[in-house]
Amino acid sequence: MSIRLVTSNVSDAATLSSPDFTAGLPVSNLQLEGRARVARTANATGTKTINGDLAGVSMLGACVLYNHNLTSQATWRLRLWDAAGQSGNQVYDSTTASALPALGWGDFQWGAVPWGASVFTGWGTAFSVLWFPAVLARSFRLEVTDPANGDGYLQAKRLLLGPYFEPQVNIELGLQLYWEDNSVQRRTQGGSLRTDVRTRYRVLRGQLGHLSDSERAVAVDTMRQIGLRTETFVSVFPGMGGAQERDYSMLGKFTSMPQFTNGELFSHQAQLSFEEV
């Protein structure tokens, strides 16, 4: 698999409904950008359901539930229909799957993390992703279960549903990934180094070096739509699992518009600069 970029989030324009979320933190908060607000269920028992009617028939190939508190015991299921109100023909069913797999034998460190820990344990931000063959859909139902959740409720920041762009050749060697820290350091009169703790976020920089003519056309139109103003989800190693997929996947924004260069016949290059929101 190559880098994947969700090109539009049709969930933001959908009509969402659910009987499971609190009035103060409603399901509609999943449609708001930024870190300030979340959607939260009243409890963790049973199956939590989100129904959505899209604004129109839309092409879908990805579902992302971002910045949630689900545990490695959680499951989720996505179903899509070709008519509003979860009616008509069912065009996709993910079936029930683990929403956040526990650490495998290669990643689990005895004594360092609790049994049942996931790759996100200690991160404070977790996400779940479904990639599937593109289908046209008009409505959806997302079901989540996590009855053993110690918080006593289920919570998430963002829901993304949409198509994705995937070039045939992945991002080139030299890809940069690092943490940026907005904390401010200062010296006291006694010489101590103090830190005013602020937000940390990841930065991803790299180059797509072998875009075909058709891929360049899709990428240019995608950037026209997303620009610098819209949140989207990017994963450099989709489906790989473990820390590799976690580290190189994020909800963020482009910090500069890619400039496309025709370096070779039928081959184009583009620099990517992306920051976590």
Expressed in percent and rounded to 5, the helix, strand and coil fractions of the chain are 10, 45, 45
Q: Same domain, yes or no, for 137 and 259?
A: no
Q: Same domain, yes or no, for 205 and 149?
A: no
Q: Is the pLDDT of residue 115 over 80?
A: no
* CATH code: domain of residue 61: 2.60.120.260
- Domain assignment present for residue 70? The answer is yes
Summarize pLDDT for 182-233 with one digit per residue, the tens: 899 999 889 899 999 988 999 999 999 999 999 999 999 999 999 999 999 9
Summarize pLDDT for 227-266 with one digit per residue, the tens: 999 999 999 999 988 889 999 999 999 999 999 999 788 8
pLDDT band for position 106 (cuts 50, 70, 90): low
Summarize pLDDT for 73-104 with one digit per residue, the tens: 999 999 999 999 999 999 999 999 999 875 55
Across the strands, what pairs with 65? 128, 159
- Domain assignment present for residue 171? The answer is no
Q: Same domain, yes or no, for 22 and 154?
A: yes
Q: Same domain, yes or no, for 19 and 103?
A: yes
Q: Is the pLDDT of residue 108 over 50?
A: no
Torsion of CA 66, 256, 32, 97, to 10 degrees: -20
Q: Is the pLDDT of residue 112 over 80?
A: no
Residue with tokens 């992302």: 64
The C-alpha atoms of residue 231 and residue 229 are separated, in whole angstroms, by 7
Summarize pLDDT for 24-54 with one digit per residue, the tens: 999 999 999 988 899 999 999 999 999 999 9
For residue 82, how many other CB atoms are within 10 A of its CB?
A: 16
**Percentage above 90 pLDDT, the chain:** 81
Q: Same domain, yes or no, for 128 and 198?
A: no
- What is the pLDDT at residue 243? 87
Q: Same domain, yes or no, for 103 and 187?
A: no
The C-alpha atoms of residue 95 and residue 130 are separated, in whole angstroms, by 11
Domain containing 221 equals 176-276
The C-alpha atoms of residue 112 and residue 116 are separated, in whole angstroms, by 12
- Domain assignment present for residue 25? The answer is yes
Q: Same domain, yes or no, for 160 and 188?
A: no
> What is each CA distance from 204 to 120, 258, 269, in whole angstroms?
19, 13, 17
Summarize pLDDT for 135-184 with one digit per residue, the tens: 999 999 999 999 999 999 999 999 999 999 999 999 999 999 999 998 99
Contacts of 258 (CB under 8 A, 6+ apart): 219, 223, 270, 271, 272, 273
Q: Same domain, yes or no, for 137 and 191?
A: no
The C-alpha atoms of residue 70 and residue 81 are separated, in whole angstroms, by 26
- What is the pLDDT at residue 59? 98
Q: Same domain, yes or no, for 161 and 181?
A: no
- The whole-model pTM stands at 0.90
- What is the pLDDT at residue 110? 46
Q: Same domain, yes or no, for 85 and 145?
A: yes
Q: Same domain, yes or no, for 14 and 147?
A: yes
- What is the pLDDT at residue 242? 86
- Domain boundary (165, 197, 230) is at 165
What is the domain count for the chain? Answer: 2
- Domain boundary (103, 132, 165) is at 165
Residue with tokens 């545990």: 71
If you ran DSSP here, which 8-state letter would residue 29 be given? G
- Domain assignment present for residue 90? The answer is yes
- Domain assignment present for residue 170? The answer is no
Q: Same domain, yes or no, for 120 and 241?
A: no
**Kind and range of the H or E run holding 237:** none
- Domain boundary (141, 165, 189) is at 165
Contact at 8 Å (CB) between 160 and 64?
A: yes
Across the strands, what pairs with 84? none
